[in-house]
Every structure is written in C-alpha cells, then in structure tokens.
A and B are shown apart, each in its own frame.
Chain A
C-alpha cells in the first residue's frame, strides 16, 4: 500500500475509532484485558502478544486448569481421560508474557473501564476482550437446575460432569436406556450431542449390547446428519429394531420437565421418556457476566460488529467465542480460535490507529463415529461486500464427501491431530 492510500485508510479508520479513546497518554503501554481462558480468550491473548511485544496483556480466568470440550466426548468410548483433556496457562504466562489473574470477575464497570474481581480487587483496561462462554437457560426444563445437573449431568462444560456421566454409563444395568436431551439452536458445538451418542454407542456395543441411546431432540434436523446416520447404520444397527441409537425429533414438542425420582423427562404435549442415565443438555445463552454487563440481546447472545468484533453496546469491549453472535459461524472452539485472531488484529489496529484489515474466519469440526471413523464439516467465512455481515463463502465449505471407509479412517486420524494442534495453537 502506498503512503497516500495508507493515509486515506488511516483517516477512515480514525473516524470509526473515536468512541474508545485510550486513557493512557501516548508512549505508555496500552492495557488489554482478556476475560475467559477458553479457546477464544487464550488465543486472543497469545495472538495479541505475537502482534505486539509491548502491550500489557492480562488474562482473567478463575480456573488454573481448563478441560477442553473438544475431545471430551471421546471419554465415553474410553479413548481419553480428563488429564489428557486438561491444559493450563503456564506457557501463556512464561513464553508470551501474559499476566494471569486467577480470579472470578464480579462486575464490569463499563463507565470507568474497570473490572471488579470477586476478591475486591479492580483492574482497569483500555480495551477488553470478553470470551466468557455460555450458561444454561435453567428455566427451560422444570425440575432441572445447576444443582440437579450434578446428578443428571449436562457435561456441556467439560470436567467433573463428563467423568460422572461416563461412570453412570458404565454402571448402567444390562439393557438400560440412556436419554440424551439435545438442545435447541443456537448452542455450543452443534454436532456434539450426536458425537456423544456415537461414543456412548461405541462403549455399549462392547459392554452392554442390549442397551439403547435415545436422543430426544428439539430440532427437526442436525449437523452432519446424513454422515452421522450413515455411520450409525454401519456401526450401530441404526434404523433396525436392534439399533443402539434412536433419534427422536420432538420439534414443537420439546422436553420441558424433569421428574427426577422416576428419571423421566416429559415433553410439552405430555410424552414421557424414562431412562437409566439422563444427559440433559439445556438451551444456552451467553455467560451471566455478559448479560449483567448489558452486552446481550433479548435472546441472550452478544451482538457484535463483525469487522472488529466490538460489542454493539460498547466500543471498548470486543466479544468473541460462544457468547458472541458470529452467525452463520457455529459455536465451536475452532471458531473461537479463528474469531480471537481476527479480534486481536482489530484490537492491534485500533490501538495503533492503523487501517483495518479484512477479517477471515474458518471453522472445522471433526466428529468421531467410532475411534477409527471420523467425519467433518468446514466453513469459510468473510464479510459481505458492505463489510457489515458475515457470510459463508459460496462454493466452499461443507461436509465430508461421503461416509466411506478410507475417508472416515483418514478423518479420524485428522480429528486427533487437529485437536492436538488446536490446543498448541491456542494455549501455547
């Protein structure tokens, strides 16, 4: 770009940037605070450091270890464990000079650009990157709650609940029934419930072959459905009387009640389903912190300007990951990593008053049908011509060519390999 163009872009950029003038005088370090140490937050902090050696970067995350949701379904087939799924923040601290604050956030005081921690401390910011993840709409299913989830785990934030659910599956009586209540759109990891059913079926096929997994779905269709169903037919007798997996679409008749004593879930029209193991995955929204800070829309998600990932409510706050609406991108760890990078570039350009570069995003989600059989979905995303909306690039993306032996074996290998690199790329 020549200087004339550079100045033109700078001037245009400058006009858009005025809402969030830096507190610091020139030549002192700008301070970027990142809230949330999942894939979005970790990647944002790391990428910012790679772009700018001088910024002060703080990452606030209450946990010292993070159990990744990607890969956590593999635990049900007995091919991973929580230790293998755990990451920490040491590399980000030591190699990338990120200040780690192991505390919970109480409030975001937007008017004075300050974060109040639950221990009473406060941290000021020039720009805040919020990657807080999700919470659950507990009131969507009467009788279900955060406390009851310790008994009937959602296991949709990986960790102890994932292990409890796996133990329940393994302890299930012969010929028992697992109920997976799948959530309405939009939610974290669209293929997740179906990969989970696959991994559970893989386990019961070996250890409890008369058992059955019922997916009770509030949707009419689901991610990679054709591939999942082909894989289930090939492995688990799907479509026959002895199928290990049954998928029931309860569109317009969603599960809205749990009767815990009888381990029964009940739909709007009164259909009852009783199981031995109940995996209830409720409807979701952005984490409470985002709502309390006034950054959510009536559906509970954070609207953003996709060029910069700035909240439409606050120019100084960028929101990424599952909490943010990057429609049509799905909510996934891969997508959060991709969003974090585009966000970090925007934050860098805003702080240095440089012209914006066009953001580019990719999402890839692998799912395992069986330990050696994988399928994938890909999306390539960019801004539309007006630079206001995210579009999936036409002709690109899509699902695996077919559920075919050689391809699915390759994709199972890639699933594991991509998982490892995604961790390395996000956390150091």
Chain B
C-alpha cells in the first residue's frame, strides 16, 4: 500500500532535479586533494589546475587518448557538457 501511494505521488508529480557540477566535484575530492599536497604524492592533487587543463585531461581520459589506471572508467560516466561544467567548477 505504501509503495502504491509512493508510486502515485511520484508519477503524479514530475521530479525536477538540475545538473549541478558541485555534486560531481564533491566526489572527485574523495581521492584528490584540493590543496597542494606534497606528502602522499600518489593520487595527484587538483590545486592550481586551470579549467582548460582539467577539461582537456578529463576528455582525454574519457576518449582513451590518455592512459590512467582508473580515471578513464570514471570520465566515461559524464557527458562532454558535464565535464566542461565540472572542470569550470574545480578550477574556481
């Protein structure tokens, strides 16, 4: 019954949710430090990278033009427009 009600509620009203690059960027920062990180030195930090550099790197990962163990598997999850927005947000 509860499921039926939920279903009715959800089908009756379209659910709106806008793309917000911040909600992707927050996931980047699980592995990548946003500050200059001299200590660990394994996963690159993202400090000081320009939007153009980030955009190019992410597209190169997505289209397998640049090798990495993991990033190509992640970059393929986003449209080119989303990647642009993520690069812009990250560089701010």
Contact = CB atoms under 8 A, between A and B. Distances in A.
Given A378-B70, A400-B69, A413 B23 contact: no
Contacts of B40: 416-417, 420-421
Interface string B1-29: 01100100010011111111011101101
A12 B69 contact: no
A393 interface: yes
Given A421-B33, A422-B31, A341 B26 contact: yes
B23 to A, nearest CB: 5
A362 B74 contact: yes
A410 B71 CA distance: 13
A358 interface: yes
A146 B43 CA distance: 39
Nearest to B3: A312
B18 A401 contact: no
Contacts of A359: 17, 23
A9 B18 contact: yes
B65 interface: no
A312 to B, nearest CB: 6
Interface string A24-68: 000000000000000000000001000000000000000000000
A356 B16 contact: yes
Contact of A388 (B10, B24, B42, B43): B10
A414 B74 CA distance: 15
A316 B21 CA distance: 26
A13 interface: yes
Contacts of A47: 26
Interface in B46-91: 69-70, 73-78
B27 A9 contact: no
Nearest to A412: B42
Contacts of A1: 18
Nearest to B29: A425
Contact of B30 (A334, A380, A396, A397): A334
Interface residues of A, number: 55
B17 A358 contact: yes
A357 B18 contact: yes
Contacts of A383: 17
Contacts of B3: 312
B27 A341 contact: yes
A361 B78 CA distance: 12
A284 B27 CA distance: 27
Nearest to B27: A362
Contacts of B22: 345, 357
Given A338-B30, A393-B77, A397-B77, A358 B42 contact: no
B13 A355 contact: no
A396 B74 contact: yes
A20 interface: no
A39 to B, nearest CB: 10
Contacts of B29: 425
Contacts of B19: 357-358
Nearest to B45: A421
Contacts of A362: 27, 30, 74, 77
Contacts of B13: 12, 15-16
A359 B17 CA distance: 8
A73 interface: no
A21 interface: no
15 contacts: A9-B16, A16-B15, A307-B17, A312-B2, A360-B23, A361-B27, A380-B78, A387-B15, A387-B16, A388-B10, A388-B15, A393-B77, A397-B74, A413-B42, A414-B69
Interface of B: 2-3, 6, 10, 13-20, 22-24, 26-27, 29-33, 40-43, 69-70, 73-78
Interface of A: 1, 8-9, 12-13, 15-16, 47, 305, 307, 312-313, 334, 337-338, 341-342, 345, 355-362, 364, 376, 378, 380, 382-383, 386-388, 393, 395-398, 400-401, 407, 410-411, 413-414, 416-418, 420-422, 424-425
